Amino acid sequence: MSKAYSYYQDQLRTLADLEGAIAGLSWDKEVIMPSKGHPYRSRQIATLAGMAHELKTDPKLVATIDELYQQRADLSEAEAANVLRSWEDQRRSLKLDKDFVMRQSQAISQGYEAWLKAREQNDFSLFEPALATLVALKREEAERIGYEEHPYDALLEEYEPGMTCAQLDPIFAGVREHLTPFAAKVRAAESPDDGFLVGSFDWQKQWDFGLQLLREMGYDFEAGRQDTSPHPFTINISPGDVRVTTVVDTQDFQTMTWSCLHEGGHALYEQGLPADDYGLPRSRAASLGIHESQSRLWENHVGRSRDYWQYYYPVLQSIFPDQLQDISLDAFYRAINKVQPGLIRTQADELHYHFHVLIRYELEKGLVEGSLNTSELKEAWNEAYERYLGVEVPDDRQGVLQDIHWAHGSIGYFPTYSLGSFYAAQFYAQAQQEIPDLQENIRKGDSSALLSWLRKKVHQHGRQYLAPELCRRITGEPLSYEPFREYVERKYGTLYGF
Ligand code: ZN
pLDDT tens readout for residues 210-219: 999 999 999 9
Residues with CB under 5 A from ligand 1 (ion): 295
Cα–Cα dist 185/71, whole Å: 57
Distance of CA 296 from the midpoint of ligand 1 (Å): 7
Over range 157-169, report the average pLDDT. 96
Can you give the pLDDT at residue 144?
96
**Cross-strand pairs, 427:** none
Which entry of 141, 160, 263, 364 is annotated as an active-site residue? 263
Distance of CA 264 from the midpoint of ligand 1 (Å): 10
Percent of the chain with pLDDT over 90: 96
Over range 280-305, report the average pLDDT. 98
Cα–Cα dist 84/93, whole Å: 14
First to last CA, the chain: 61
The reported pTM is 0.96
Distance of CA 285 from the midpoint of ligand 1 (Å): 13
More confident residue, 328 or 105: 328
Inform me whether the pLDDT recorded for 40 exceeds 90: yes
Averaged confidence pLDDT in the chain: 96
Inform me whether the pLDDT recorded for 395 exceeds 90: yes
Inform me whether the pLDDT recorded for 356 exceeds 90: yes
Inform me whether the pLDDT recorded for 308 exceeds 90: yes
pLDDT bracket for residue 1 (50, 70, 90)? confident
CA torsion, ordered 362, 367, 372, 375, to nearest 10 deg = 120
Over range 225-245, report the average pLDDT. 97
Distance of CA 98 from the midpoint of ligand 1 (Å): 32
How are beta strands 241-246 and 226-228 bridged, if at all?
parallel
Closest-CA residue to 481 (of 493, 470, 471, 469):
471
Inform me whether the pLDDT recorded for 21 exceeds 90: yes
pLDDT tens profile 50-100: 999 899 999 999 999 999 999 999 999 999 999 999 999 999 988 998 899
pLDDT tens profile 438-487: 999 999 999 999 999 999 999 999 999 999 999 999 999 999 999 999 99
143 part of the active site: no
Can you give the pLDDT at residue 93?
87
More confident residue, 1 or 83: 83
